[in-house]
Structure 1
Amino acid sequence: MKKVAILTQPLGHNYGGMLQAWALQQVVTQLGYNVVTIDRQPAKLSLTYLFIRLIYRVLLKGLGKGKSPIFIESKKNLAYKNTRNFISTNLIMSEPLFTTSQLIEHFDNIGYDAVIVGSDQTWRPKYSPCIENFYLDFLEKKKIKKIAYASSFGVSEWEYDAELTARCSKLVNLFDWISVREDSGVELCKKYFHIDVDHVLDPTLLLSQSDYKKLIGQDRLDSKSSGIYTYILDPSSEKKQLIESFAKEHAEMVYSCQAKCSIEDSIDHHDIIMPDPRDWLAGFANAKYVITDSFHGVVFSIIFEKPFICIVNEGRGSSRFSSLFKTLGLSADLKEYSSKLTHIKAIDPRLIQQSINLLKRKLDLDV
């Protein structure tokens, strides 16, 4: 069986990232390939740097200015224990790879037939460790099929400097096929890389509601609350007021399934633990309504056909929302989605099949 690697951002810190990785691995496996998701992690920090940072935190605490915990690394292990367990149980992962040289060695040892970059904001420099890796610089001279599936810049503005633009433009022209998640990404590729690319669906949209219910499991579906489900990445007083007003108007309880606070803000260590992604998904499956400022929060509201209010998250990239709405035949007026409940019908299966067929045709390795 032909071997395919998927290169995506580090997993475990956000639900959308984990589930798009799971979905893409599922789809490529169903197409008949042996799939491994590459565990590309940020480079390890030197002991000298860690020691200096520790002293710095101690000094800040002594001055009453320190916000981050002194031993924040140990807190991260606690915070991500459920998500890391989900990943190890439900995805086939490579060993952790921290450098370009480790990536080269891994690919040389395994001998993959193809590599897929995607999805999520893999082409946004501020989010991906060593952005050139996500343009497959470590395979520049290797004979291997190179594909980008639903890769995203996250925003509609260009965030690369001239040097990085030139380097990535050279690398991207070595790909066999490129597709992006947003229509704005099509325009960015044309303007800055001088290439035409395809526009496809996020991997999470390639699977059915029943696929996710199977992942969640009946016990979780039976045990979760029903009412107004909220998933808020960036809390604010305005969002809190909107949620409270909506709950009062509809006489429904409000519930969520996410860490109660960030690592930096925690007092009780248990408040920083991220629940299992299957519990997070069950919240959407059982909800009457959803209120969210998350792209994948909107995606799963649509998958589970839940009426939702989307609070557009400008700082994290609004083009992702507008492109999704237009693709699915919804209004692209973001202000409307910020203030008006949107009722959702099932996604047109032809849109899903179109993206799957494109991936299947371009990935064809004569299995």
Structure 2
Amino acid sequence: MRVGIMSMQRVVNHGSFMQAYGLKSMIESLGHEVLFVDYKPSSCVPGLRDARGRLKDFLGRIKADVRFTGAGRRALIASGIYKRTPMDVEYERCLGLLGVDPCKRNIGEHVDVLVIGSDEVFNCTQAGPNVGFCRQLLGWGNNCESVISYAGSFGHTTLSDLEKYHVADDVRNCFRCFDAISVRDANSRAILEALGIDGVSTHLDPVLVSGVENVEWKPVATPERYALVYGYGNRFTQDEAEAIRAIAEKRGVKLLAVYGHQDFCDENVDCGPDEILNYFKGADFVATDTFHGTIFSAITHVPFAVIKRGQNANKLVDLLDRLSLKERLATTPEDLSFILDKPLEFEVADAVRAAARESSLSYLRCNISVGRGVR
């Protein structure tokens, strides 16, 4: 069958790339042809942005429309309006591994079955020009015979948010377009159940169950001994940075930041998604505050500590609980040294992942195979 994936594969983020690659691999292992289908970004929910913010988002969407044409892209780059960072270049270099053209969006392509997920595809109350309140990501208005989700997430969106912005009924109606629904966290499941959506399944992120850690990724050159800091640029507090540096100095290792730049690290590396797992595999330890930084640590069996923040607390606690790794969660900078000094075994987490892989493949096999012709 011709299966489309609608996801966050164009977001310049190692986790976004790797979950897209993992889901593609899983569906292809079932014998299907896979291609990525882009969504059309929409305006944000009413009331989220003021007039200035709405204008900024509108101009951002126009800029994106121009950027995804050959001539428009060249003109924007030449004029300096579209400035690509070294990380942007590295990311675009790897999009061919997904079969995605970095210069052209694939909107409206017909597929037999559309799989929406994983990542925060249901996070419909976020600001900015890149997603907005996009009903396509919520299941409505897609060019396919059947639409399902796999390990989708509402991210930081809550049921209260949907009610606050008066879109709960709209979201409920969109989700009725799905032939099968799979989410990755308790918050997402609770939202849908509160909206009266039945039959919601829960599955692990594709990075945890697809075997991406076994792929022969591009080799990397690293210091003899190093530790990784993986998080958004300069989001670590001064106390957190000092605690992480103290641990690295005590162990005699260099600190490398391999995603967002961190001023307190010895080296900031702009690596591609096809290199990230090899950086994790060789690390002495990992300090992270992100969902996929946690997952990369778990699948490469590297000692790690996860810093909990308000905006990511729900999904990180849920993830660590599912993997029986809650003891790796740091709520204060002082926790970091204690956590990283504790021995860490991955047998239980690996067993959870193995069982989840079978469940995930069974879900995809069943709902892709029977989906054709339903709509």
1:323 equivalent in alignment to 2:323: no
| Bigger mean CA offset, 331-340 vs 345-354 | 331-340
Moved over 6 A (4+): 43-46, 94-98
CA distance in 1, matches of 2:90, 2:123: 27
Alignment of 1:227-238 (within 5 A): 227-233=226-232, 234-238=235-239
Match of 1:173 among 173, 176, 180: 176
- Percent same amino acid among aligned pairs? 19
Deviation, 1:278, is: 2.4
| Cα-to-partner distance string for 1:270-298 (whole Å, 9 max, x where unaligned) | x9984212232221111121111111000
Deviation, 1:249, is: 3.3
Q: Relative to 1, partners in 2 of residues 1:36 and 1:96: Cα closer, same or farther, differing over 3 Å?
A: farther
Q: Relative to 1, partners in 2 of residues 1:176 and 1:229: Cα closer, same or farther, differing over 3 Å?
A: same
Tell me the residue number matched to 2:52: none
Deviation, 1:245, is: 1.9
Letter in 2 for 1:240: A
Q: Relative to 1, partners in 2 of residues 1:304 and 1:178: Cα closer, same or farther, differing over 3 Å?
A: same
Gap runs ≥5 in structure 1: 54-70, 263-270
Q: Relative to 1, partners in 2 of residues 1:150 and 1:289: Cα closer, same or farther, differing over 3 Å?
A: same
Tell me the residue number matched to 1:352: 357
Q: TM-score, normalised by structure 1?
A: 0.77
Letter in 1 for 2:362: N
Alignment of 1:136-155 (within 5 A): 136-139=139-142, 144-155=145-156
More helix by share: 1
Q: What SS does the corresponding residue of 1:113 show, helix, strand or coil?
A: strand
Tell me the residue number matched to 1:183: 186
Q: Relative to 1, partners in 2 of residues 1:74 and 1:272: Cα closer, same or farther, differing over 3 Å?
A: farther
Q: CA RMSD, aligned part only? A: 3.3
1:203 equivalent in alignment to 2:198: no
Match of 2:134 among 131, 136, 139: 131
1:299 equivalent in alignment to 2:302: no
Q: Relative to 1, partners in 2 of residues 1:232 and 1:238: Cα closer, same or farther, differing over 3 Å?
A: farther
Deviation, 1:75, is: 2.1
CA distance in 2, matches of 1:115, 1:312: 34
| Cα-to-partner distance string for 1:298-321 (whole Å, 9 max, x where unaligned) | 001000011101011322x21111
Match of 2:284 among 274, 283, 288: 288
Deviation, 1:230, is: 1.2
Size of the alignment, in residue pairs? 322
Deviation, 1:241, is: 1.1
| Cα-to-partner distance string for 1:35-54 (whole Å, 9 max, x where unaligned) | 011233647999x958xx9x
Deviation, 1:229, is: 1.4
Q: What SS does the corresponding residue of 2:141 show, helix, strand or coil?
A: helix
CA distance in 1, matches of 2:33, 2:316: 32
Deviation, 1:361, is: 1.7
Deviation, 1:93, is: 2.6
Give the conservation status (yes or no) of the 8 Å contact 2:5–2:36. Answer: yes
Tell me the residue number matched to 1:276: 272
CA distance in 2, matches of 1:205, 1:254: 26
| Cα-to-partner distance string for 1:60-107 (whole Å, 9 max, x where unaligned) | xxxxxxxxxxx874323654111011112x002378777xxx84xx33
Tell me the residue number matched to 2:92: 84
Deviation, 1:22, is: 0.9
Q: TM-score, normalised by structure 2?
A: 0.75
Give the conservation status (yes or no) of the 8 Å contact 1:7–1:37. Answer: yes
